[in-house]
Amino acid sequence: MPIEELGSAPRSVHEGGRAVGPELALTFREAENSLKERERKVLKQAAEGLSAGDIAKRLYLSPGTVRNYLSEAIQKLEAKNRIDAIGIAEKNGWLD
């Protein structure tokens, strides 16, 4: 980060702001795009409390395909389970 920005970073953080270097910001953007559209849709349905079977009916998929999408989302988000994955995705605004 340029020295001018580096000098203002502590003040910004002290005032409640954020200071994120360009390399780190790029990492955040990449993480934001880690879930495919279908994985997000399936995860959003799971967040509503639907079972794999119910999600499958709503999205015209097989229950096995839904479980695969959920598994992929859990793996990509490095979550412990689907509840953890939903929490991570919601926290980052990826289920909107």
Q: What is the DSSP string of 48-77?
A: TT--HHHHHHHHT--HHHHHHHHHHHHHHT
pLDDT of res. 10 = 72
Judgement on whether residues 43 and 55 belong to the same structural domain of the protein: yes
Judgement on whether residues 52 and 92 belong to the same structural domain of the protein: yes
pLDDT of res. 84 = 95
**6 or 81: whose pLDDT is higher?**
81
Tell me what percent of the residues of the chain surpass a pLDDT of 90: 54
Residue 73 belongs to domain with CATH number = 1.10.10.10
Judgement on whether residues 14 and 57 belong to the same structural domain of the protein: no
Which residue range forms the structural domain that includes residue 58?
A: 35-96
What band does 24 get if pLDDT is binned at 50, 70 and 90? low
Tell me what percent of the residues of the chain surpass a pLDDT of 70: 70
